Amino acid sequence: MRDMLSKPRVPSMVEPDAFVVGETVAITKGAVVLQTSMFELIQYTPQTAKVRSIPLLMVPPVINKFYIMDIAPGRSMIEYFLQQGQQVFAISWRNPQARHRDWGFDAYGGAIVEAMDAVQNIAGTDSVHLMASCSGGIIAAMTAAHLAHIGEADRVAGLTLAVTVLDETRAGFAAAAMSDRAAQTAIRVSARKGYLDGRDMAEMFAWLRPTDLVWRYWVNNYVQGRKPAAFDVLFWNADTTRMAAALHRDMVLMGLRNALVTPGAVTMLGSPVDLADITSDAYVIGGVADHISPWQATYRSARLLGSKDNRYVLSTSGHIAALVNPPGNPKASFRTGLVGAEKPEEWLESAQQSAGSWWPDYVSWLAERSGPEVDAPKRLAGKACHRSGRRRAPM
């Protein structure tokens, strides 16, 4: 009864107290070095004596909490990158309320630029790597195009897009089911409230995989009377955030028009967005079983970017498990190849298959584009928190 009385109205996939942010998830050491009205910027404590000079700025989805990138020891991307000598920073988005209804593309793009300014200032570099996921990847790509348009393309040392759809052509059931009438209704609803409730999105995403995410837990919780297993990724998935009404509007309208495939059809910070202007190399990741961002759509998206040396990586598993895929899993594998073939299926035929996780491949790719090694900073730019997860953007 509890599950049906509150959103999302699906069986619970995890107990709400199964984990504690900053204690059992998101525990990699770091410090909040910048706090604005929209985000906190976390600098993570280096774990090697030498670090690569060009830092990595991680941009999470705008509809989820940042800590999927730091989910748990041994399975944390951030922890692994630090262990390999990478300087790592991450954005933690504020959970918007009704008074933030006007935060749209420009507000979030401006926030990424502000975070880049801070990272460059702290690290003493002229450029940063951007690694962005899902909806965060859309905004990061648009921001990179804006920087290229104003003559600052070299500020982006490399662009990594994880499970990000820029080309909405045949982009899955959710995109196909969204008619213009339904879209306008959804926009009006979020405009009245000032935001789109993350729990509504969680319910929709659950019904995209009803066998695994609804009926499995219906049987476990209600028929068998068991508590769901404690799984950190599902805890993160249930820890939803809201989406500001303006961003919801911008995302929906852009998706309906598939605007990013047409140069200049949408703007970012006053610049017409042409993804072909992004000439820094890109590393683009898809999940072979992704039900939210189909891998074929993420591959087509990679073809919109301007560099001739873009690398596409197809990971095993679905939307999140394709990313939270640390070394050591004997069942894991991935395929790699340059982005070139017009059709995803053609790329797949010639792609190289490798056993294991894609994380080491990515670290090698980053290292080639991250400058010489330098001494790790002896102290962070701000007052360090013992665990970064204890400091999150205010609700």
- What is the rounded CA–CA span in Å between residue 151 and residue 301? 23
More confident residue, 212 or 134: 134
On whether residue 349 sits in a domain, the answer given is yes
Supply the angle between the helices 105-123 and 134-149 in degrees, to the nearest 10: 80
Average pLDDT over residues 8-22: 71
Q: Which of 54, 134, 305, 393 is catalytic?
A: 134
More confident residue, 70 or 182: 70
Could you give the C-alpha distances from 336 to 129, 141, 347, 349, in angstroms and in order?
A: 20, 21, 9, 11
pLDDT, tens only, 172-198: 444 545 678 888 888 998 999 999 886
Choose among 29, 119, 127: nearest CA to 79: 29
On whether residue 106 sits in a domain, the answer given is yes
Tell me the CATH number at 368: 3.40.50.1820
Half-sphere exposure at residue 118, Cβ-oriented, CA atoms within 13 angstroms: 24
Tokens of 162: 């994880």
Task: Answer whether residue 60 shows pLDDT above 60.
Answer: yes
- What is the rounded CA–CA span in Å between residue 89 and residue 55? 7
385 is catalytic: no
Q: Which residue has the tokens 């820094």?
A: 280
**Type of residue found at 195:** Y
- H/E segment holding residue 210: helix 210-210
Contact between 165 and 293 (Cβ < 8 Å): yes
- What is the rounded CA–CA span in Å between residue 150 and residue 179? 35
Average pLDDT over residues 122-135: 98
**Type of residue found at 171:** A
Choose among 170, 153, 148, 169: nearest CA to 274: 148
Tokens of 204: 């929709």
Q: What is the pLDDT of residue 105?
A: 98
- What is the rounded CA–CA span in Å between residue 303 and residue 283? 12
β-strands 50-52, 373-375: how paired? antiparallel
Q: What is the pLDDT of residue 16?
A: 74
Phi, psi of 384 (to 5 degrees): -70, 140
Task: Answer whether residue 395 shows pLDDT above 50.
Answer: no
Range of the domain at 41: 2-390
- What is the rounded CA–CA span in Å between residue 199 and residue 383? 34
Lowest mean pLDDT among 192-206, 213-227, 323-337, 342-356: 213-227
pLDDT, tens only, 303-349: 999 999 999 999 999 989 999 999 999 999 999 999 999 999 999 99
- What is the rounded CA–CA span in Å between residue 288 and residue 331? 14
On whether residue 214 sits in a domain, the answer given is yes
Contact between 9 and 3 (Cβ < 8 Å): yes
Q: What is the pLDDT of residue 392?
A: 39
On whether residue 395 sits in a domain, the answer given is no
If one counts the domains in the chain, the total is: 1
Choose among 289, 296, 344, 345: nearest CA to 315: 289
b/e code 65-79 from CB counts within 10 Å (16+ = b):
bbbbbbbbeebbbbb
Average pLDDT over the chain, rounded to whole?
88
Tokens of 109: 């793009």
Contacts of 151 (CB under 8 A, 6+ apart): none
